[in-house]
Structures are given as C-alpha cells and as structure tokens.
A = this chain, B = another copy of it.
Amino acid sequence: MNRSTTGVGLGSAAVAVRARKEAAAAVKALMFDTFGTIVDWRGSIIQEGKAWSKSRDLPIDWATFADRWRAGIVPGMNKVRNGELSWTNLDVLLGMVLDDLLKEFQIEGLSDEEQAEWNRVWRRLEPWPDSIVGLMRLKKSYTIAPCSNGNVALINDMAKHSSLPWDLILGAELAGHYKPDREAYLTSVSLLGLKPEEVMMCAAHSDDLHAARSFGLRTGFIHRPHEYGPSRDADTAQPGEFDIVAENMLDFASKMQA
C-alpha cells in the first residue's frame, strides 16, 4: 500500500470526501425507498383527513389514524413473507387495514367508491420539499428508480401526481417479495443489468439499508427528521455508518457529485 491509497497524511475530512467520490464513481443506479424517504406519508394523510372531516364535524385524531394505517400493513407483509398469504399487493393490504380503521374510528356510511378514494390517498402523498429538485439533479448522472413496497400502479400514480422524475419503477411487486427480503433488492438489481455493488439503496430507514448492504448493495442514508412527527424519533446515522450519510436530499445529491 502506498500513501495515496491509504490516505496517510490526509486529514480525515479529505479521506471521507475521497471515499465518497469512490463510492459514487462505482454506482450507476440509485434505488429509493419512497414512503418517508421521498414522500411525507404522515403529513399528507393528516392534511387530507383534516380537510375531509372539517365539513363533517368528525373529531378524528388523524395523526393516530395515519400512524396506525402505516403500522397496520406490517402484519400483512409478514404473512406474505412467511407464506401464510400468497402475494398480495400493497393496495390490497392498505385496503384491509383501512376497513379496520374505519370501524375503529367510527367513520360510517362511506360508499365503496368513497372508501376506494380514501385508499388512493397513498397515491397522493406529497413529496418532501427537496425530493424533486434532488432527484432531478441525480437523474443527470444516475438511473433513479423507486425500490418500494408499494405496488407499481400505486408508485406510478404517485409519481404522476407529483411529477417525481423516475427513470423506471422497480420494487417489491416485481419480485413478489416485500423488503427486506433479499429478492426485493436483488430482482431490482438484476432488472437493471447491474451488479449489487453498482446500485445504491437510498432510504431514511436504517433497517432497509442494513438489509440492502447484507445483499451487496451500496447504501445511502437520507435523514428525514419529521417523518413520524412527534409520535416517534426518526432514524439517524453517524458519518461512516453507511456509504453516504446525508442531512437531506440536496446534501445527498451533493455528496453523490450530482
């Protein structure tokens, strides 16, 4: 080893910058978690809920409603994972949770179409303010694709709603496996025609990134401090804990030299 590859004599900041440049140089595609990383699911559901219930004089705690909806899909995904349930896409899982929530929150008398429209709120989730600008910058240098547990139609409609500039849509449905199953990551990598180390999984959630890394992908952490509002602390990461650790999407784009 010589000085130039070990960085002896360079300050740790310079070493970190060079390590980031090397990671970015090898990466050809960026795959993004969407719910929480690209879009503000909680804030969007609360906002739609408040607007909806305002004219109906229904005192509903929409923050809890949103939190319960998001948490409620986990058991369904686990049933798919352990084979108790055959492949069931996220639209359907979200609809099953909604059925229960409407009863629990005593929201009655919705027509089937009104209920379906409520389920489609997941297609209308608003991006964080920096998501689109960051993705546009990154798209010039990388293939950018969602790798979400949301089904293709849901993720496409969400993209059309907010002009998210994806190159293509990858993710759980194409593999028939929910993250963090290895198939969800590696089927997406395979469809890109790339090696795992040429693809970076980008997310605000450490568990998603730990899984991706265990299957050979590079990892990019994007901090989303407000994802859970006051209900729960958002994940944080220390510099060096993932290939890239970024404060937000613009910081992430800068660190990826985009």
Contact = CB atoms under 8 A, between A and B. Distances in A.
A194 interface: yes
A136 interface: no
A132 to B, nearest CB: 15
A153 B192 contact: yes
A143 interface: yes
Interface string A94-107: 00000000000000
Interface stretch (A3-11, A160-168, A216-224): A160-168
Contact of A153 (B153, B166, B191): B191
Q: Is the interface of A mostly helix, strand, loop or mixed?
A: helix
Nearest to A157: B193
A64 to B, nearest CB: 29
A125 interface: no
B91 A156 contact: no
Nearest to A89: B193
A243 interface: no
B173 A152 contact: no
A160 to B, nearest CB: 6
Nearest to A188: B152
A174 interface: yes
Contact of A168 (B156, B192, B193): B156
B192 A152 contact: yes
Given A159-B168, A174-B191, 18 more contacts: A143-B160, A151-B191, A151-B193, A152-B168, A152-B191, A152-B192, A152-B193, A153-B191, A153-B192, A153-B193, A154-B193, A156-B168, A156-B192, A159-B167, A166-B167, A168-B168, A168-B169, A174-B174
